[in-house]
């Protein structure tokens, strides 16, 4: 049983407040290593807020504060002694809109490693090749690494973003916030293929509006609704025999 594996990320009674409104109301969740966790739910259910809480990107929004605990390998990431920079290097993120930084493909990929102080050209070249291969785009761009990342198509940019996360040698968890929402089916398939390969090395959390995508790639699935986690379980069980009526309504497309 998957439930016996140790949790890579353990979320305990976790609340997020945006000014006075409670965006997340007491989430409890054990996220296992080397699995893909799909998070589904209608707009405004707190999926993205939850995701952004896991690498403390919500810190950038001054009106937000949190209660409860998120443990990464047993350590509370919201504890004052926890270094947020090292957290973000360990917990990488892909956004809904692919954002290539306005610099070359090469410089995009080595953005993280350069911040970590990698200067050696040979090593940077290795990192670029390894990351772009892992994101299934090495062959497409290997001859034009000095081209601006902005000139890539949306699907390519999203894989470039994936490569940029994978380039960080410290990364253990990959958060994806509807990474395929703006992509065509072929680009989507490439991202999904990459994820299923990458889960042997990383812990992956995939927020998606596309329930079919969760059904295709996620090992476990959590259903969020109005800031609460309604149900969490094995993907097959969630999609075939959900315990909660609301989950059933959502996965069968009756609302949301």
Partner 1 sequence: MRIAPKYTQMLAVAVLGGATAFTVVVLLFIIVFVLSKGLPGVSSEFLFSAPKDSGLSGGIFPMLVATFVLPLMAIIIALPLGVGTAVYLTEYTRETRLTRVLRFGTDCLAGIPSIIFGLFGFIFFVVMLKMGWCLLSGCLTLAIMVLPTIIRTAEEAIRSVPNSYREVSYSLGATRWETVLKVVLPNALPGIVTGVMLGIGRSIGETAAVIFTAGSILPRSIPVSVFEPVRTLSVHFYILAREGISNEKAYAAAAVLIITVLLVNLAAYGMMHRFIARRSR
Which residues lie near partner 1 (CB under 8 A)?
A: 55, 57, 60, 62, 85-86, 88-89, 92-93, 95, 97, 99, 101-104, 111-112, 115-116, 146-148, 150-151, 161, 164-165, 168, 170
Distance from C-alpha of 6 to C-alpha of 2, rounded to nearest angstrom: 9
Distance from C-alpha of 53 to C-alpha of 177, rounded to nearest angstrom: 12
Nearer to partner 1, 62 or 185 (CB): 62
- Shortest approach of partner 1 to residue 148 CB, angstroms? 5
- Shortest approach of partner 1 to residue 125 CB, angstroms? 19
Nearer to partner 1, 170 or 219 (CB): 170
- Shortest approach of partner 1 to residue 12 CB, angstroms? 24
Nearer to partner 1, 81 or 146 (CB): 146
- Shortest approach of partner 1 to residue 239 CB, angstroms? 30
Q: Write out the two tokens for 219.
A: 């090992």
- Shortest approach of partner 1 to residue 186 CB, angstroms? 24
- Shortest approach of partner 1 to residue 55 CB, angstroms? 6
| DSSP states of 79-146 | STTS-HHHHHHHEEEE-SS----SSBHHHHHTHHHHHTT---HHHHHHHHHHHHHHTT-HHHHTT-TT
Nearer to partner 1, 17 or 42 (CB): 17
In this structure, what are the phi and psi dihedrals at residue 30, rounded to the nearest 5 degrees?
-110, 120
| Contacts with 101 (C-beta within 8 Å, 6 or more apart), sequence order | 107, 108, 111, 149
Nearer to partner 1, 1 or 60 (CB): 60
Q: Which of 223, 215, 221 is nearest to 255 (CA)?
A: 223
Q: Which helix (H) or strand (E) holds 40?
A: strand 36-40
Q: Which helix (H) or strand (E) holds 10?
A: strand 7-18
Nearer to partner 1, 123 or 144 (CB): 144
């Amino acid at each position: 049983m998957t439930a016996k594996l140790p949790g890579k990320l353990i979320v305990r009674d976790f609340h997020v407040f945006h000014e006075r409104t409670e965006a997340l109301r007491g989430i409890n969740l054990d996220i296992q290593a080397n699995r893909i966790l799909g998070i589904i739910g209608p707009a405004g259910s707190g999926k993205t807020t939850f995701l952004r809480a896991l690498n403390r990107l919500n810190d950038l929004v001054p009106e937000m504060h949190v209660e409860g605990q998120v443990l990464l390998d047993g350590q509370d990431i919201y504890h004052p002694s926890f270094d947020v920079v090292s957290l973000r290097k360990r917990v990488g993120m892909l956004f809904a809109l692919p954002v290539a930084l306005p610099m070359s493909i090469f410089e995009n990929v080595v953005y993280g490693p350069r911040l970590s102080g990698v200067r050696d050209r040979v090593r940077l070249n290795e990192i670029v090749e390894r990351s772009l291969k892992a994101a299934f785009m090495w062959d497409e761009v290997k001859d034009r690494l000095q081209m601006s990342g902005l000139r890539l198509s949306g699907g390519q940019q999203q894989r470039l973003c994936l490569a940029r996360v994978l380039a960080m040698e410290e990364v253990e968890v990959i958060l994806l916030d509807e990474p395929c929402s703006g992509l065509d089916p072929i680009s989507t398939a490439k991202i999904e293929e990459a994820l299923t390969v990458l889960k042997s090395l990383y812990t992956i959390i995939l927020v998606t509006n596309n329930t079919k995508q969760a059904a295709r790639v996620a090992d476990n699935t959590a259903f969020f609704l109005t800031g609460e986690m309604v149900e969490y379980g094995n993907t097959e069980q969630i999609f075939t025999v959900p315990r909660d009526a609301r989950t059933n309504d959502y996965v069968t497309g009756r609302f949301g």
